[in-house]
Amino acid sequence: MQRVLESLKLLGLSSYEAQGFAALVYHGVANADTIAESARIPRTSAYKVMESLVDKGLARETDGRPKMFKPEDLNVVKNQTEAKIRTLFDDLRFIQEVVTSKGEPQLVYTIYGTERVMLKLQEMINLTEREIFICTPRVREIRTEMKKSIDNAVKRGVKVIFVTPPNKRIPENAESFVVDGIMTTDVVSDGSRALLAGPDMDACGYTDNPGLAVHVYQFVQMLIEKRSV
């Protein structure tokens, strides 16, 4: 029993919650008073403990008076716990990949996955204070998913400048330049942050090093000037 209680604490349960849940599994169905006696927890705390177990998906309330409690199906609890652990380690692996990629003294790190690339682009828009150049063929996706961030940037007085292939509808209040042959997405914010993504935007390189970002800025300016010639 002691081993069970210690393991239950690894799931984020307090001592009283672990004791209460173990007692509930033992009884199968019980009221708060019975749990308090079996689990050796104060009667004044027993009902709150059981309600907390219900909120965490570990127990269910039954109808009637006095209110009775039953443990959630243990297979359901097991599946939920395993899913949380998988998610935890997926997140840890992602953090590890970012740290490994970013590293020191490296100045550029790689982001994988379209959703994460789009989130990084949205973050850049939100951080921009003066101007942001978005050179991309993927205008529709950016216009749709980042409308609020772009609108807020414009309200802050940020110049939002799109450089796009022909026949692309840009967001309202944004400036634009039309350039033939754009295949990839290059973004530069305030001349100090830059993002370079492939045609599908499923991976990108990102830097917040001004020395590198200026090269992306110069490349975008070159495209604009070429268009103007």
User: Which pLDDT tens digits describe the chain residue by residue (229 residues)?
Assistant: 777 777 777 677 888 888 999 999 999 999 999 999 988 889 888 889 999 899 888 999 887 777 899 999 999 888 888 887 777 777 677 666 665 555 544 477 889 889 999 999 999 999 999 999 999 999 999 999 999 999 999 999 999 999 998 889 998 889 999 988 888 899 999 999 999 998 888 889 999 888 888 888 988 888 888 764 4
Q: What gap in Å lies between CA 142 and CA 125, rounded to an integer?
A: 11
- Write down all domains in the chain, each with its CATH number in brackets: 2-77 (1.10.10.10), 99-228 (3.30.870.10)
Handedness of CA 198, 203, 207, 211 (dihedral sign): negative
- Residue pair 70/53 in contact (Cβ under 8 Å)? The answer is no
pLDDT at 154: 93
pLDDT at 201: 87
pLDDT at 172: 85
pLDDT at 228: 47
Q: What is the pTM of this model?
A: 0.54
Q: What gap in Å lies between CA 167 and CA 158, rounded to an integer?
A: 24
pLDDT at 223: 85
Residue of 115, 167, 181, 117 lying closest to 139 (CA atoms): 167
Q: What gap in Å lies between CA 177 and CA 198, rounded to an integer?
A: 20
Q: What gap in Å lies between CA 10 and CA 6, rounded to an integer?
A: 7
Q: What gap in Å lies between CA 46 and CA 180, rounded to an integer?
A: 70
